[in-house]
Amino acid sequence: MVERIDLHKHLRLHLVTDSALCGARGIEAVVEAAVRGGATCVQLREKALDRRPFVERARALKALLAPLGVPLLINDRVDVALACGADGVHVGQRDMAPEDVRRLMPPGSIVGLSIESAAQMIAAERAPVDYYGLSPVFDTSTKTDAAPPLGLAGVRRIRAMTMRPLVAIGGIGFENAAAVMAAGADGLAVVSLLCKAADPADAARRLRQLMDGTP
Sorted by where each begins, the domain ranges of the chain are 7-212
pLDDT of residue 213: 84
What span, in angstroms and rounded, lies between the C-alpha atoms of 177 and 62? Answer: 28
Q: Residues near 200 by Cβ (< 8 Å), separated by ≥ 6?
A: 30, 33, 34, 37, 194
- pLDDT above 80: residue 144: no
- pLDDT above 80: residue 14: yes
- pLDDT above 60: residue 201: yes
**Stretch 37-48: mean pLDDT, rounded?**
95
Written out in words, the top-level CATH class of the domain with range 7-212 is alpha beta
What span, in angstroms and rounded, lies between the C-alpha atoms of 45 and 28? Answer: 13
pLDDT of residue 143: 61
pLDDT of residue 93: 94
- Within its chain, how far is the Cα of 178 from the centroid? 18
- pLDDT above 70: residue 4: no
138 against 213, higher pLDDT: 138
Binding-site residues, in ranges, read 43-47, 75-76, 95, 114, 140-143, 171, 191-192
What span, in angstroms and rounded, lies between the C-alpha atoms of 82 and 74? Answer: 10
Is residue 66 a contact partner of residue 2, using CB atoms and an 8 Å limit? yes
pLDDT band at 142 (very low <50, low <70, confident <90, very high): low
Active site residues: 45, 114, 143
Give the global pTM.
Answer: 0.94
pLDDT band at 5 (very low <50, low <70, confident <90, very high): low
pLDDT of residue 99: 97
Average pLDDT score, the chain = 93
pLDDT band at 52 (very low <50, low <70, confident <90, very high): very high
* Cβ atoms < 10 Å from Cβ of 18: 20
